[in-house]
């Protein structure tokens, strides 16, 4: 495992469990964070897209962060997501999460406004000046409509508290340019479990993904093989995970992931917040077919 970067390894994006009346239920969340710690997780990422950040109130978000930090008890990094579209809400949430004990935050590129690259740099400079925490950039242009130019990533690595990037840009040429310029400065973390071995071959030292909730040790092994230069072995192991990857992303995340965790009896429930819908019966049946043999290997 690469230890040069502080946040290398598999960082798991965890769902937010809800009660039947759609309130946050921190008890199964705490139990799951402890489960991930026992499995050797290098980090927990609550409140990303998987954690339904944009659908939760401020108080609900804070309760998720507090429960995650308490359950992790310092045994692994807890890196809450900040998916706010604008600077005011982003900073308010970030400061509250830091007061609760978070040392690092995953911060999405500002969206809705379709900012220029200079505007993005100024945004993260201000965030960095006002929030005392490490920053992992979160680039996901197919959700936000905002891409980070590779020179912009390099600038942010030099000007701000940015220590990593969750890269969900499907443009592989862009990913290569980011790695060429910035891999020695920040941790390149893929957010695309579909192609993780390729991103590792290009310079990624870890990942922020969600199916590692279910198969943490196997994802660790995919990464370890890639980092050791055993690309074909990494690809071969990754291919065995493909049926599960396809199932949990066949419908909008995190509904299928919650269904998979509910199938395992982890008390997370299947409910998601509007406008999301629960996973369909078809997807639940598909998960019930593909997940057990993979769990047997854990």
Which tens digits make up the pLDDT trace of 24-35? 999 999 999 999
Catalytic residue among 7, 53, 138, 258: 138
53 is catalytic: no
Please report which confidence band the pLDDT of residue 169 belongs to, taking 50, 70 and 90 as the band edges.
Answer: confident
Question: Is 208 marked within a binding site?
Answer: yes
Q: What is the pTM of this model?
A: 0.96
Catalytic residue among 53, 166, 258, 284: 166
111 is catalytic: no
pLDDT digits (tens, 9 = 90+) for 218-274: 999 999 999 999 999 999 999 999 999 999 999 999 999 999 999 999 999 999 999
Residue 255 has a pLDDT of: 98
Residue 1 has a pLDDT of: 44
Please report which confidence band the pLDDT of residue 3 belongs to, taking 50, 70 and 90 as the band edges.
Answer: very low
- Tell me what percent of the residues of the chain surpass a pLDDT of 90: 96
Q: What is the mean pLDDT of residues 198-210?
A: 96
Residue 88 has a pLDDT of: 97
Residue 4 has a pLDDT of: 74
Residue 130 has a pLDDT of: 98
In order of their start, the domains of the chain are 9-295 (3.20.20.70)
Q: What is the mean pLDDT of residues 193-197?
A: 94
How far is 279 from 156, CA to CA, in rounded Å?
38
Please report which confidence band the pLDDT of residue 53 belongs to, taking 50, 70 and 90 as the band edges.
Answer: very high
Q: How far is CA 62 from CA 54, 79, 199, 292, in A?
A: 13, 13, 32, 34
Residue 2 has a pLDDT of: 43
- Stretch among 17-21, 56-60, 171-175, 263-267 having the lowest mean pLDDT: 171-175
């Amino acid at each position: 495992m690469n230890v040069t970067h502080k946040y290398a390894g598999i960082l798991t994006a965890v769902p937010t469990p809800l009660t039947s009346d759609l309130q946050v239920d921190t008890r199964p969340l705490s139990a799951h964070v402890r489960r991930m710690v026992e499995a050797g997780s290098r980090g927990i990422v609550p409140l990303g897209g998987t954690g339904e950040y944009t659908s939760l109130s401020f108080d609900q978000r804070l309760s998720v962060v507090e429960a995650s930090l308490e359950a992790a008890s310092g045994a692994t990094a807890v890196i809450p997501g900040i998916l706010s579209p604008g600077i005011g809400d982003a900073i308010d949430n970030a400061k509250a999460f830091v007061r609760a004990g978070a040392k690092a935050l995953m911060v999405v590129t500002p969206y809705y406004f379709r900012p220029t690259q200079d505007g993005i740099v100024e945004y993260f400079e201000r965030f960095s000046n006002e929030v005392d925490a490490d920053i992992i950039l979160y680039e996901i242009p197919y959700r936000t409509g905002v891409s980070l130019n590779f020179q912009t990533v390099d600038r942010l690595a030099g000007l701000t508290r940015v220590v990593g990037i969750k890269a969900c840009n499907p443009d592989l040429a862009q990913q290569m340019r980011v790695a060429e310029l910035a891999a020695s400065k920040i941790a390149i973390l893929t957010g695309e479990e579909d192609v993780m071995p390729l991103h590792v071959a290009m310079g990624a030292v870890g990942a922020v993904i969600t199916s590692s909730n279910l198969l943490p040790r196997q994802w660790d092994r995919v990464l370890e093989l890639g980092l050791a230069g055993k690309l074909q072995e990494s690809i071969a192991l990754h291919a065995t995970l493909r049926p599960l990857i396809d199932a949990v992303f066949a419908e909008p995340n995190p509904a299928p992931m919650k269904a998979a965790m509910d199938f395992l009896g982890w008390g997370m429930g299947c409910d998601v917040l509007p406008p999301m819908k629960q996973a369909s019966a078809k997807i639940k049946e598909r998960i019930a077919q593909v997940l057990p043999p993979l769990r047997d290997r854990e």
